[in-house]
Structure 1
Amino acid sequence: MSGPGEPFAGEPFSGESFSGPSRPTRHIDRPPDPPRRPFVSLALPDTYDGDTVQPRQAGPRRRSSIVAAAACVVLGLGLIGGAVTGSWLTGDSSGGSATPDAFTAAGDLWHSVPVDELFPATVKGEGAGPGGADRTWTRIAVAPASGCEDAFDPLLRKALAPAGCLRLLRATYTDATHSHVITVGLLFTKADSAAMAALHRRFEEQGLDSRRDLMPLPYAAKGTLAAGFGDGQRASWTLSVLTDAPVVVYAVSGFADGRDIGEPEPAADAMKADATTPVAQAGLGHAAQGLADRVERSLRKTVDPATEKPS
């Protein structure tokens, strides 16, 4: 801004703009002086609430923003942690690997957990039957813990050999009508997570879980409804190599009356909506798959608290 007696910025300099005491006053016709520039404040703008001016309070708002940002970070970490735990509890066995602690803990369950937790006396299968019908299975026999020498056919034992055999646990169930018998097994292996992942890929890529010459054997307990459940009575089966635990889960189903099955079917085929074979129509594919799924879920629920460290 110009000082007294000085021209405005941008106004051409002229000696006639000044007056001296020795010269008479002269009246010169010239345009009027331009209006002075308005005063501009460079202070922070005010906030308004109606007609009342309220100065901006930067401190509290900044603190609240920081708190909100921190809350978002904590929430995000919680969701990530929940997703990792959820992948184990919901049965995501073909995705990422479990943490080393969880993998090791799962491999120790065969000798540290009561049989009723791994093979519950009663298993409810909501929506596990054909058409989404509910099913209930009752345990009728538990096999002694064993190795794998006589528990699998030679070809299946050879296919599973890369993972090793630490311990095999088996139980046999029947349905509510006592018309089906199902053996479910948990093979605890000696393999690490990389070896289990490799075995899982091999079974999946080569379709080994659907070959009839690789069906698991049933456990035919004497003096029970499954006493006649032999090799020829195997109707449907499922087998899953887990990648987040050193465990192979399988189940094989048949009729409780001991009838021979000429054409057994893998559960995945027998469960198809358009399947019309006697095995499919009887729901034996659903029985094998439904019971195997729920025993696997029971295993996962059991291993979760085992991985928690005391506070």
Structure 2
Amino acid sequence: MLAAFGALLLLGGGALTAHAYSNAQQELPNYEYGNVMWRDEPVDSFFPATLGGRGGYNGGLHDREAAIWNRVGISPDTECDKGLTSHTLKAAEENGCKAVLRATYVDSTANMVATVAVVVLPEGSSEIGARTNIYEAYQDHLFDDGVVVPYAVPGTLAAKWKHRNGADLAPVGGEHMPYVVAASVGSVDGYVAGDLPGEWGDSNGDNVDRESWSANAADLVTLFRAHMDRLQMGDS
């Protein structure tokens, strides 16, 4: 399904399509560039080498020593069913999913690994229905859907990335931004989060050990959405 998109991701050429254009070549106003940046933006710019840092959202940009997250690989598979799982995938496909772009990051302590996924939806200037539908499907299955398929990157700390301990998903706001961003987070050493017993658990005794992991996933999603806003305005 949608296999053609897989052939468009040219990692060696540093662009998301064979006909990528730089921001300077775009004839569209920046806000309209949001519709096409997923295929026109150079791949190293779309998935930056670093995210977050001591100076805020931009604090670690282009600075691996100051960054919170460092990229270790970009997936060549962009088919929707290769990037999402279960209920999230179903909702994305029902709402016109065109592609799912993924990159894997490791945090500065080398303890956490995460895969960020950008769900590409049909272009539209202000329609948010598709984005909202996917978000609601995610909310309805917070604890029984892995959300993002991990991208294990050979030869890196993420080579065995498999077990997801937490996840988050949020629509990208604004006009001409037909995207949803999601992330799954796990442990580099393969630790699998579980329920905490007795007094260490919450009132229901469920999913407490996953809360901090999901919080880190939420922070990463927020960082990436801010990055996409910068791309839309030509500030990468």
Q: TM-score by structure 2 length?
A: 0.67
Among residues 89, 98, 109, which one is paired with 1:157 in the alignment? 89
User: How many Å separate the matches in 2 of 1:225 and 1:173?
Assistant: 9
Partner of 2:152: 220
Partner of 1:237: 167
Number of residue pairs aligned between Structure 1 and Structure 2: 188
Give the CA RMSD over aligned residues: 3.2
Amino acid paired to 1:115: V
Among residues 171, 179, 193, which one is paired with 2:111 in the alignment? 179
Q: Which moved more, 1:189-198 or 1:288-297?
A: 189-198
Deviation, structure 1 residue 262: 3.3
Deviation, structure 1 residue 144: 1.5
Q: Contact (CA 8 Å) 2:95, 2:130: kept in 1 or not? A: no
Kindly provide the CA deviation profile for residues 16-55 of structure 1, in whole angstroms up to 9, marking residues without a partner as x. Answer: xxxxxxxxxxxxxxxxxxxxxxxxxxxxxxxxxxxxxxxx
| Cα distance change on mapping 1:263 and 1:249 into 2, 3 Å | farther
Deviation, structure 1 residue 287: 2.4
Q: Which has the larger radius of gyration?
A: 1
Percent of aligned positions with the same letter in both sequences? 28
Whether 1:294 aligns to 2:226 is no
Partner of 2:12: none
| Cα distance change on mapping 1:219 and 1:287 into 2, 3 Å | same
| Cα distance change on mapping 1:296 and 1:227 into 2, 3 Å | same
Partner of 1:44: none
Amino acid paired to 1:284: W
Among residues 241, 244, 255, which one is paired with 2:187 in the alignment? 255
Among residues 37, 42, 48, which one is paired with 1:120 in the alignment? 48
Q: Contact (CA 8 Å) 1:103, 1:193: kept in 2 or not? A: no
Unaligned 5+ segments in structure 1 are 1-99, 129-133, 265-274, 307-311
User: How many Å separate the matches in 2 of 1:109 and 1:149?
Assistant: 21
Deviation, structure 1 residue 256: 0.3
The SS at the match of 1:292 is helix
Deviation, structure 1 residue 103: 6.2
Tell me which protein shows more helix as a share of its residues: 1
Partner of 1:208: 140
Deviation, structure 1 residue 189: 1.2
Q: Contact (CA 8 Å) 1:162, 1:199: kept in 2 or not? A: no
Unaligned 5+ segments in structure 2 are 1-27, 57-65, 197-205
Q: TM-score by structure 1 length?
A: 0.52
Q: Contact (CA 8 Å) 1:125, 1:294: kept in 2 or not? A: no
User: How many Å separate the matches in 2 of 1:188 and 1:166?
Assistant: 5
Q: Contact (CA 8 Å) 2:116, 2:148: kept in 1 or not? A: no
User: How many Å separate the matches in 2 of 1:153 and 1:278?
Assistant: 22
Kindly provide the CA deviation profile for residues 141-196 of structure 1, in whole angstroms up to 9, marking residues without a partner as x. Answer: 11115111222223321111233222221111111111110111111112535653
| Cα distance change on mapping 1:290 and 1:296 into 2, 3 Å | same
